[in-house]
Amino acid sequence: MSLLKRFTLSVSSRIDRLVGDIENHDAVVEVGIRDSRRLLAQAQARYQRLSRDGEALQQRLDDLHAAQHRWRERALSCAPTTTGASEDKALQCLKRARQAARQAAALQQHMQQHQAVQRRLAAEIDSLRERVAQLEQRRTLMRCRETTARTAVQRQQLDQHSQLDLDDTFERWEMRLTEAEMAADSTCGAGSGVGLGVAPEIDPLEEEFLAAEERNALQAELQTLRDAQPQQATGAYPGVAQ
């Protein structure tokens, strides 16, 4: 291989890679599918026109066959006369019948060619329809693969480059929350008087009940002492058996 040829192939391959990197594959495929759909629509419209023309040709052929049969019947209906006039009419009728037969034969040949074209066009329409379906399926598959690949790449990049940043963010967040909690605890302690030598406030109702309970306890203890006074005079003590 010559040096010039190797250089040409090298440049061509680099250009192909560059074009492959910068082109929008989805857009290119979309254009191709749109063109295929347009060709399919044109072929279908042409097929419908051929179908209408085929129906008109068939109707014309049926009319020629009917005319051929009608002219033959007319030729048979012409009764012979001495002057030969009816014979001439019969011959003219047969002439018209032959003319209709020739036209029908030519039209039949034309219809065969027309039907062959219509069959080829129908096969082309089927091929185009299948091609469009294949292109759409491949486009859907490629889009799914591209989405999956892009998601995997982005997740890998996130794991590689953002993990440290996220860890730092969580750490700063936790430090800020800890400082806020410590400040809240200090505020609560200052408000309640704990550690500052300030007596906590007591509910008046609770203070009243505490005083009554204390008075009752003292009265019970006093009554116990009074009950034990006669026993002490006789040398007995509460709880000591004589």
pLDDT for residue 202: 66
Average pLDDT over residues 150-158: 79
Q: How confident is the model at residue 226 (pLDDT cuts 50, 70, 90)?
A: confident
Q: Which of 31-35, 159-163, 178-182, 197-201 has the lowest mean pLDDT?
A: 197-201
pLDDT for residue 42: 92
Most confident option among 8-12, 46-50, 83-87, 225-229: 46-50
User: Buried b / exposed e across 153-184, counting CB within 10 Å, b at 16+?
Assistant: eeeeeeeeeeeeeeeeeeeeeeeeeeeeeeee
Token pair 């906590």 is found at: 200
Give per-residue pLDDT as tens, 30-57.
888 899 899 999 999 999 999 999 999 9
Average pLDDT over residues 126-140: 91
**Amino acid identity, residue 14?**
R
Three-state SS across 83-152? Answer: CCHHHHHHHHHHHHHHHHHHHHHHHHHHHHHHHHHHHHHHHHHHHHHHHHHHHHHHHHHHHHHHHHHHHH
Give the Cα separation of 23 and 15 in Å (integer). Answer: 12
| Whether the predicted pLDDT of 122 surpasses 90 | yes
pLDDT for residue 9: 53
Q: How confident is the model at residue 242 (pLDDT cuts 50, 70, 90)?
A: very low
Q: How confident is the model at residue 7 (pLDDT cuts 50, 70, 90)?
A: very low
**pLDDT averaged over the chain?**
79
With left for phi above 0 and alpha for psi between -120 and 50, is residue 237 left, alpha or beta?
A: beta
Average pLDDT over residues 114-122: 94
**Amino acid identity, residue 231?**
Q
Q: Which of 36-45, 141-150, 219-228 has the lowest mean pLDDT?
A: 219-228
Reported pTM: 0.51
Using DSSP's 3-state secondary structure scheme, residue 22 falls into helix
| Whether the predicted pLDDT of 68 surpasses 80 | yes
Phi, psi of 200 (to 5 degrees): -70, 150
pLDDT for residue 195: 47
By the 8 A CB rule, do 107 and 58 touch? no
pLDDT for residue 19: 47
Q: Considering the chain, what percentage of its residues have pLDDT values greater than 70?
A: 72
Give per-residue pLDDT as tens, 15-33.
455 445 545 788 888 888 8
By the 8 A CB rule, do 114 and 56 touch? no
